Chain A
Amino acid sequence: MENLQLIIPELFISIMIMFLLIFGVFKKNSSQLVYNLTTVSLVAALALIINLDAQIESSLFNNSYNIDSLARFMKILLILSGIFVMLSSSKYIQISKISKIEYPILILCSILGMMVMISSNDLIVFYMGLELQSLALYVLASFNRDNLLSTESGLKYFVLSALSSGLLLYGCSLIYGFSETTNFNQIMVNTKEIEYGLTFGIVFILVGLAFKISAVPFHMWAPDVYQGSPTSVTVFFALLPKIAALTVFIRFLYIPFYELGDQWQMIIIFLSIASMVFGAVAAIGQKNLKRLIAYSSISHMGYALAGLSTGTTQGVQSSITYITIYLVMNLAFFSCLFMLKRNDEYYENIDDLSGLSKNHPLLSLSLLVVLFSLAGIPPLAGFFAKFYIFVAVINEKMYFLAIVGLLATVIAAFYYLRIIKIIYFDPEKEKFESKHNLGLKFTLVASTFFILAYFIYPSGIVDIISQININ
């Protein structure tokens, strides 16, 4: 039981969930306090993870729970994003009147679920983590229950996500049936021969996972859910579940199914190309910023999958780099969105940005940087993200994928440019409020600075990621 210290962060978060639940029920009007305590406990969890000895790589509970460099990095990423999401959206929650004690607790629950997913090395543990995060997310999506769109998005997400979980579970059962085990490492050992049932199992699992990261053609929920949910939940949706789902993708593809590369490689390439192209094309006509960023994130997931499809360690590392930079860019984008506030009302249409640069030069400059970075124009961070992916892809001689991906960036550049055009070239509208809370400002400045200054020392993150051990 001495291994228990390795899951202290998870245990800590579980205890905090229970404590905050009781605390919130017994103390009246404590929603803001609970919210702040949640942020604090996330910071504490981050400290606990960093405090763990990085050298230890071990499997707990009969090899069903992995503590390795991948899990460690992804958990740090996850909790950091969680902290920034909490910091940036605190004001929004108060103003949108969804400041209830359940809100931060649900966020903690889903973060716990994601941590379990990230570390899982067993079908059952993985599924447990997945359901924990999903159930919390269903409620969060419909948290603004008096709002029609929010309720609709919650229900929609629930129905579709439950369907995909069902498919995933069916895939798991097939895998179990053909390999006689639920442990990832054992599956790899037991599945040397390719059988139809096994391939079916892989396909079902990949479909379920593709749904979770909203890859085309399993993306239909994303635009509606992004638009309908409260913005504070949308930013959560755009960041954290992607980290967890991508990690699970990596684990599935590179541990149990590693030997079956030719079975899944075409599927991933298809998902990747479809997501990149569809995400870029469909975003062109959008009027709502949240909906647009949903399509944009579909497209970005396509690039992350392109890295995975190579089947090499380098490819996986490029995907991890990509998701890291993607997180920062989206965080910066949503921070800007949180600043579009006037008389206690938030604005989220592209037209509302018209002429923003005249009244809010700094905010517009950040948006400019973020949007060019999302479009992948050098010397901003977004370019490097794509660059690493293409380096990995071209190394495997997958030129078609690389060229389609690059052409998709040109299409995508169009709609990012359109937003810039509206901000900078169009006539100005009414001013927005210029007072914001410190957490939001800090988030925006930090993330924009990261994007801008990334090129000065691009090796930093790559060096850390290159130490991640996949197999």
Chain B
Amino acid sequence: MNFPILSSLILLPTIGALFIFFVRSSNSQYQSSKYVALFITLANFFLSLYLWIVFDKSIVDFQFVEEREWISGFVNYKVGVDGISILFILLTTFITPICVITVNATIKNRLKDFLIAILILETFMIGVFCSLDLVVFYLFFEAGLIPMFLIIGIWGGERRVYSAFKFFLYTLLGSVLMLVAIISIYWITGTTDVIKLYELGIDAKYQNLLWLAFFSSFAVKTPMWPVHTWLPDAHVEAPTAGSVLLAAILLKMAGYGFIRFSLGLFPDASLYFVPLVYTLSLIAIIYTSLVALMQEDMKKLIAYSSVAHMGFVTLGIFTMTQQGIEGSIFQMISHGLVSAALFLCVGVVYDRLHTRLINRYGGLVSIMPKYAIVFMVFTLGALGLPGTSGFIGEFLVLMGAFKKNILVATIASLGVILGAAYMLWLYKRIIFGKLINEDVKKMVDLKRFEIVTLWLLVLPIIFFGFYPEPLINSIEVSVANMIDMNDFDKINKLALGD
């Protein structure tokens, strides 16, 4: 048995949280608990970076698999990574330290509790991405609700209670059916081990209902239209770090779940429900983009843009082509970086002016030039300009979609235009224009820690925009294997009449 690297990744943040919890609190030691959290999350990041380097990208199988008995004779604790999940783990461990850095400015009370919540949340997020057992997955997937509920509820804005409840109950309602499905899978096949299930396959007559049960959970979490309404509320009320984690990682759990479970376990049902997913994705892309155009609150606008971007993700996944799925994964990673960055940017100006209303700003370019630069990079990343990571994702998704259905692809392309419209308009209204508000003139440009965090996000967005190879490389084999395993290519050809 080698060193259990994945379990260490999962457990390390919790150990950090326990450490912070048991260290006596006094005001002077708030700083020290922050450094502990930063140290732990950075250690976790380097550990996962190491994992990525050691990870053999040419092998199809799951690697670093750990298995041990958990609920006797029923469920085993089993974790492992393939090329897809390792990227999400990296994203998680990369975003979390950035959140920890930002807490200084945004969290005024109970800093210690906040750090504990974030660390516990990191444990659950990493757990979701590397669990190879359905029950273990469900456990991590659901457990993440607790810290997020508290983050929104304790440190949120005015309507935080409403948002926290909505977030919790929506997601819980979505997931309960998944639990029924997981237990049913156990009784149908005799195991909840994902690898074994890939080999065994599930009888086609059960697939449709099971797929729907999983879909109900993932659709809420993604979120897809029409169950997306919790997201704008949660984003608006959550503190900056909470919004960042929510947008960058929690939403990706669902996209990851679609690839790993919906496609992997229920290939027939996935094909059957393609029209449904296409329709919902297109509505999400077009409708929420239009809604985003109308927003007066910055965070709400970005939240709606997230829904639209996740629409591309679901669209890409269910094209079931190599390009589509790769594009979706790339889009998720890119959106994780860009939306995190955008929420941080909103946080920067919110800390100074304490309003998120777009029309209270204007003309920031002359007062905060450094801010204007980074914000521009992220805006362009969000609208998918070539040279940013956002472009690669959207491009691949659209390529996959064109292969399957030209009408769908055309409508989705319209979404790209709308995306450019609302993002550029947002940028114009905040950064350019006349300086009307007197308070705005008193705003100071980026502080040092803000520069560090934001540039840390600028670098990968531009790097992967020009050189997507490392990411594509890592997912290529796994995606190809998934398509191969489920004969999606053959079915695709049949559908096209080749």
Contact = CB atoms under 8 A, between A and B. Distances in A.
Given A424-B153, A425-B161, A459 B72 contact: yes
B164 interface: yes
B154 interface: yes
Contacts of A406: 176-177, 179-180
B142 A402 contact: no
B165 A417 contact: yes
A407 B175 CA distance: 10
B186 interface: yes
B138 A378 contact: yes
Contacts of B173: 407, 410
A259 B263 CA distance: 45
Interface in A420-471: 420-421, 424-425, 455, 458-459, 462-463
Contacts of B227: none
A413 interface: yes
Contacts of B168: 413, 417
A421 B164 contact: yes
Contact of B187 (A387, A394, A420, A462): A394
Nearest to B21: A365
Main secondary structure of the interface of A (DSSP, over half): helix
Contact of A463 (B72, B135, B164, B176): B72
Contact of B145 (A377, A390, A458): A377
A372 B147 CA distance: 11
A379 B143 contact: yes
Given A378-B142, A413-B172, A424-B150, A394 B72 contact: no
B54 interface: no
Contacts of B113: 361
A87 B187 CA distance: 43
Contacts of B183: 387, 390-391, 394, 402
Contact of B172 (A390, A394, A410): A410
B139 interface: yes
A399 interface: yes
A410 B143 contact: no
Interface residues of B, number: 34
Query: Which applies to chain B's interface (DSSP): helix, strand, loop or mixed?
Result: helix
Contacts of B177: 403, 406
Contacts of A403: 176-177, 180
Nearest to A407: B176
Contacts of B160: 425
B69 to A, nearest CB: 7
A359 interface: no
A264 interface: no
Contact of A377 (B74, B146, B153): B146
A409 interface: yes
B70 interface: yes
Interface string B131-171: 00001001110110110011001100000110011001100
A395 interface: yes
A414 B135 CA distance: 24
B142 A410 contact: no
Interface residues of A, number: 30
B295 to A, nearest CB: 26
Nearest to B152: A425
B139 A378 contact: yes
Nearest to A394: B183
Interface string B108-148: 00000100000000000000000000010011101101100
Contacts of A459: 69-72
A391 B172 contact: no
B184 interface: yes
Contact of B176 (A391, A409, A420, A421): A409
Contacts of B186: 391
A378 B138 CA distance: 8
B153, B161, B176 pick with most chain A CB within 10 angstroms: B176
Contacts of B140: 378
Contacts of B142: 377-378, 383
A414 B165 contact: yes
B171 to A, nearest CB: 10
Contacts of A409: 172, 176
Interface in A395-417: 395, 399, 402-403, 406-407, 409-410, 413-414, 417
A105 to B, nearest CB: 42
Contacts of B176: 403, 406-407, 409-410
A384 to B, nearest CB: 8
B318 to A, nearest CB: 26
Contacts of B165: 414, 417, 421
Nearest to B170: A410
B427 to A, nearest CB: 35
A425 B154 contact: yes
A417 B165 CA distance: 8
Contacts of A458: 70-71
Contact of A417 (B71, B143, B149, B187): B149
A21 to B, nearest CB: 46
Contacts of A420: 149, 153
A379 B139 CA distance: 6
A130 to B, nearest CB: 35
A379 B147 CA distance: 12
Contacts of B180: 390, 394, 399, 402-403, 406
Contacts of B138: 378
Given A409-B176, A413-B172, A455-B139, A372 B71 contact: no
A378 B143 contact: yes
A391 B145 CA distance: 23
B146 A410 contact: no
Contacts of A395: 187
Nearest to A372: B146
Contacts of A387: 135, 179, 183
Interface in A341-398: 361, 372, 377-379, 383, 387, 390-391, 394-395
A409 B139 CA distance: 16
Nearest to A459: B72
A155 B93 CA distance: 61
Contacts of B179: 387, 390, 406
Given A378-B139, A390-B183, A394-B183, A425 B145 contact: no
A86 B350 CA distance: 54
B169 A410 contact: yes
Nearest to A457: B70
Contacts of A455: 139
A398 to B, nearest CB: 11
B289 to A, nearest CB: 31
11 contacts: A377-B142, A377-B145, A378-B140, A391-B74, A402-B183, A403-B176, A406-B176, A407-B173, A407-B176, A410-B169, A420-B149
Interface of B: 69-72, 74, 113, 135, 138-140, 142-143, 145-146, 149-150, 153-154, 160-161, 164-165, 168-169, 172-173, 176-177, 179-180, 183-184, 186-187
Given A378-B143, A410-B173, 14 more contacts: A361-B113, A378-B138, A378-B140, A378-B142, A387-B135, A390-B183, A399-B180, A425-B153, A425-B161, A455-B139, A459-B69, A459-B72, A462-B72, A463-B72
